[in-house]
Amino acid sequence: MAQEVQKEKSMILQKEMIEGLFNDLASAKEKGRKVCYTFVPGNLSELIRTFDMLPVYPEINALQNAMRKKSAGYIREAEKHAHSEDVCTYVKCDVGMLLKGNIGPTGQKLPEPDVLLLSYTGCFTFMKWFETLKREYPDTKVIMVHTPYQENGVMTPEMTQYMVKQFREEVIPKMEEVTGIKYDEEKLKRHLELSREAEDWITKIFDTTKHRPSPIDAYFAGVYYIGPINIGFRGTQEAVDYYKELYSEIQERIRLGLGPVTPEGEMKEEKFRLVVEGPPNWTSFREFWKIFYDMGAVIVASSYTKVGGVYDLGWRHDPERPLEALAEYCMNCYTNLNIPQRVALLSKCITEYQADGYVTNSIKSCNSFSAGQLAMMRDLEDKLEVPVGFIESDLVDPRYFSYSNIKNRLESYFQMLAQRKMFEAAETNPAP
């Protein structure tokens, strides 16, 4: 029987933060607060807070509904209204939730948006998603920022200034118009200073997987760790306090030589260290995690935890260059990197975190992640001679999660990893 996850102080802090946000959203209209619907990749959290708006993240609502086993009904509702089976299931879950009364994950009705802010357009689906929302909320102000794709693997000054021009001429004036608040660059700088501090902490947190045993799981548990920095708390003291507390707890686990905490209990033995590419499946999240737990596999790095920003290579929000920093942040989310950049980042993770293997979870309805994954996997296999595995599922549609198929594939993969480790051990320590 599965154990209850032990509640550490950081978990309680995060729960309070999220509940507080949804409570604020539930009373936003009666208190005159403006609401901004936006997305996690390339989000302008600090600018939203500079104008005292409250954020709503549709893809966060979708994944939380999936974890609460509500997404299937919402997806069916969207498909009844002619949304194709091949459309991103985040979109269909969000649209279905809207059609069913827009009741958020905490059971409270979400307010209608005053602003639809799209600041990352590397995923074409996001644009179509906002077109759908605009039809539902015809009086809502739309703000769209074109973010250049890192086609050549570099953010040029021209690309940055192209975005800054959009901020000055489109984004800020429209936010002033909607909120009645004048742009305050000093206030933005204060938020960016706190963002930089939170980014320092979260980088330190994910670096702790270099220890053996790893004190955390950087994929399944990692999705909780990135919660505050990705759902509107980046740029706040609350986020900084949360990450400080989390880091302190992880350091204590390192001191005691403990492995990660999981829904099944503490990982007692670290048999395999993995790097995982792609988002997790949310509808069967716990069952998915348990497959890895049962095999003694710990994920020491994942691409998904970088979807809201890549901090591994030293990039931080710079309060001395506020609008330029926001522009660079938008361009620096994982799915805005080109394929060679992604391979280089994953290679760094595999090498630095001493991973035994690399696994791709290919998501049926997410082209932003799935495009190029097989080529990336083969490239990493050839360059690093790392054993690779490939499984397929979906974000929030339970029809595309086959537990037995995924379990069989992973069991075969782990058997191969175990044999390889035995062979390597025999070569290192030959019998006398």
Residue 275's identity, in one-letter code, is V
The pLDDT of residue 140: 96
Average pLDDT, the chain: 93
Tokens coding 309: 């920003």
pLDDT digits (tens, 9 = 90+) for 26-37: 999 999 999 999
DSSP 221-282: THHHHTHHHHTT-TTSHHHHHHHHHHHHHHHHHHHHT---EETTEE-----EEEEEESPPPS
Tell me the pTM.
0.94
Residue 40 per-residue DSSP state: S
Quickly state the pLDDT bin for 1 (edges 50, 70, 90).
very low
Cα(322)–Cα(329) distance, integer angstroms: 11
Tens digit of pLDDT for each residue in 209-222? 999 999 999 999 99
Q: Is domain 9-185 annotated with CATH 3.40.50.300?
A: no
- Per-residue pLDDT of 210-261, as tens digits, reads 999 999 999 999 999 999 999 999 999 999 999 999 999 999 999 999 999 9
Domain chopping of the chain, boundaries: 9-185
pLDDT, average across residues 280-307: 96
User: Per residue in 91-108, pLDDT tens?
Assistant: 999 999 999 999 987 889
Check whether 178 has a pLDDT greater than 80: yes
Q: Are 225 and 203 in contact (CB under 8 A)?
A: no
Instruction: Please determine, for residue 7, whether its predicted confidence score (pLDDT) is greater than 80.
Output: no
Angle of the 9-26 helix axis to the 237-256 helix axis, nearest 10: 160
What would you report as the CA-atom Rg of the chain, rounded to the nearest whole angstrom?
22
What is the distance, to the nearest Å, from the Cα of residue 114 to the centroid of all Cα atoms in its chain? 25
